[in-house]
Amino acid sequence: MIPSMVLVTLGALLGAAMGSFAALLAERTLRDEPVIWARSECRDCKAHLGTAELIPVLSYLWQRGRCSRCDARIPPVLFQAELTGAALGIGAVIVSPDPLRALVLGLWMWALLALAIADLRAFRLPDRLLLLATAAGAAWVWLGDGTGWPPLADRMQGAALGALVGGGSFWLIRVTYRLTRGRDGMGLGDVKLMAVLGMVLGIERLPLMVLLAAVSTLALSVLRSWRRGRPLNRLGRAPFGAALALASAVLMLL
């Protein structure tokens, strides 16, 4: 069933707003700041933002990426998150059989977007964001894709097995690396994220998701190496959790 342009437009508008919220959620979680009750403000001059300055995508373009009061640069990640959120919202509407499932799928992918932003900015996958992704993912498993197949009991069993295989495999990698190299090469956040992703994707799609994430991470690392004039082994850490999250969203839409 082809969704109407009204639903696609609503998906884009809601997605842009949720992308903005995902960036805000990631930033305030990393800073251990309140999310809901604190007003949005410029990080430089501390001025509270008005309604017109909070319109996703348009406000950034209208202000040319600058604060209208102190002319400080607005972090481009906010604009990028709004565009990505809109794209995920449109995708959720297109691949889902009804608005409810589109909303639940969108919530799961927007939670993954927040996790990706947190990992890109601070190499962290906060438990608060992982819990949000877990809740949205569990709701998606419960609802199913609208076909009624497989039955709920089989879906729950598959989700549990996927979480066990996803999280367990990365936990083994983490432990093995620690034993052989004497230091951590992977955080527990990546292990927890893989459990969440395995719950939703199932074990059948996990290998392809990890492959997509690995290839994209390698491609970005090669680009960074070329731009900075450094060998790959001197680039430092790579935000693999962000690659896993975004590869999972792409795989769900495809």
Spatial CB neighbours of 194, under 8 Å, sequence gap ≥ 6:
166, 167, 169, 170, 206, 244
Phi, psi of 253 (to 5 degrees): -75, -25
pLDDT given for residue 169 in this prediction: 95
Task: Give the count of domains, the chain.
Answer: 1
Partner residues linked to 41 by β-bridges? 48
CA 244 from chain center: how many Å? Answer: 9
Q: E strand or H helix at 126, and its extent? A: none
Reported as a single tens digit per residue, the pLDDT across 186-230 is 889 999 999 999 999 999 999 999 999 999 988 888 877 777 777
pLDDT given for residue 156 in this prediction: 94
Read off the pLDDT of each residue in 52-70 and give the average, rounded to a whole number: 84
Residue 90 has pLDDT above 90, yes or no: yes
From CA 82, how far away is CA 17, in angstroms rounded?
Answer: 7
From CA 2, how far away is CA 38, in angstroms rounded?
Answer: 40
pLDDT given for residue 232 in this prediction: 65
DSSP 20: H
pLDDT given for residue 243 in this prediction: 95
Residue 103 has pLDDT above 60, yes or no: yes
Read off the pLDDT of each residue in 160-177 and give the average, rounded to a whole number: 95
From CA 235, how far away is CA 239, in angstroms rounded?
Answer: 12
pLDDT given for residue 187 in this prediction: 86
pLDDT given for residue 235 in this prediction: 64
What DSSP string describes 73-110?
Answer: BPPHHHHHHHHHHHHHHHHHHHH-SSHHHHHHHHHHHH
From CA 214, how far away is CA 206, in angstroms rounded?
Answer: 12
From CA 241, how far away is CA 30, in angstroms rounded?
Answer: 15
From CA 4, how far away is CA 177, in angstroms rounded?
Answer: 50
Report residue 234's pLDDT band, with 50, 70 and 90 as the boundaries.
Answer: low
Containing domain of residue 49, as a range? Answer: 5-253
Reported as a single tens digit per residue, the pLDDT across 107-119 is 999 999 999 999 9
Q: Which long-range contacts (CB under 8 A, 24 or more apart) does 232-237 make?
A: 237/123
pLDDT given for residue 133 in this prediction: 98
Reported as a single tens digit per residue, the pLDDT across 9-43 is 999 999 999 999 999 999 999 998 888 777 787 77
Q: Indicate yes or no: pTM above 0.85.
A: yes
